[in-house]
Structure 1
C-alpha cells in the first residue's frame, strides 16, 4: 500500500463590513476563495498572505482556522484544503490578477445561486457564524 499524499491548498474567507465575501472566478467559470497551493518551507499563513497579494493585490492578516478537509475542488483531483478567516485593513485597492476572470463581493444570500464548491460555502458559513 502506497503513501496517501495530497497537495495542500490554503484559502481565505475575506469579508467586508457588510459581511459580503470576496470571491474570484476561475477559468472553469466557478467562484472560489482567494488562496493557493502551499509552497516548500512556507507556513499556511504565509501561503495565504502571498496568494492574496498575487491574486488581489492587497496585504491580508490571517485570523483563525475555519476548516480543514479533503476536498475534490476539481473533478477527480483531491486536495487537503485549509481555510482561514482573513482581514484586510482597507489599504490599496482590490484588483483581479491574470489568474482569474473576475472578482466580486457576495452576500450569503446569493451564494446558493453561484457556481461554487460546497467546501468553500462551508468555510464561509463558519466565518459568518463566528
Structure 2
C-alpha cells in the first residue's frame, strides 16, 4: 500500500481528508461530477456548488494543514493564504470557477465553511446555492 505522497501513475495523493477521500491532484475520471447546472459557459455546463461541497473542500484544506478535527458547516477555522490558494485551486479544477482573492477585511471574516459559502454565494449567486 503506497504511503502519503506516493506517486500513483499520474496521481499524487498528499493525504487523506477526514472524510476518507484522498487529497491531492486527481485525474479527470476522479473529479466530482456536477450536482446541478445553472448556466452554460463556452459550450459546457457549470455546476451549482452546494453547501456540502464547500464543507468538504474546507475539510480538505484543514487536513492539508494537518489539523486533526472533524470540519462541519459551522466549525471555527482559520483560512490562511495557503488554505485560500487551495480553495481557489479546488474550485477551479472541480467546478471551473475562478475565485479572485477578496480584500483582507473579507478574508478575516472567513472563519467557517458557512462564512466561506455565504461569501461565495454573495459574489456569484449563479454558481453557488444560497447560504442559509
Shorter-chain TM-score category?
under 0.3
Q: State TM-score, norm by structure 1.
A: 0.26
Structure index of larger Rg: 2
* TM-score normalised per structure 2: 0.25
**Which has the larger share of strand?**
1
More helix by share: 2
Greater length-normalized contact order (CA 8 Å, ≥ 6 residues apart): 1
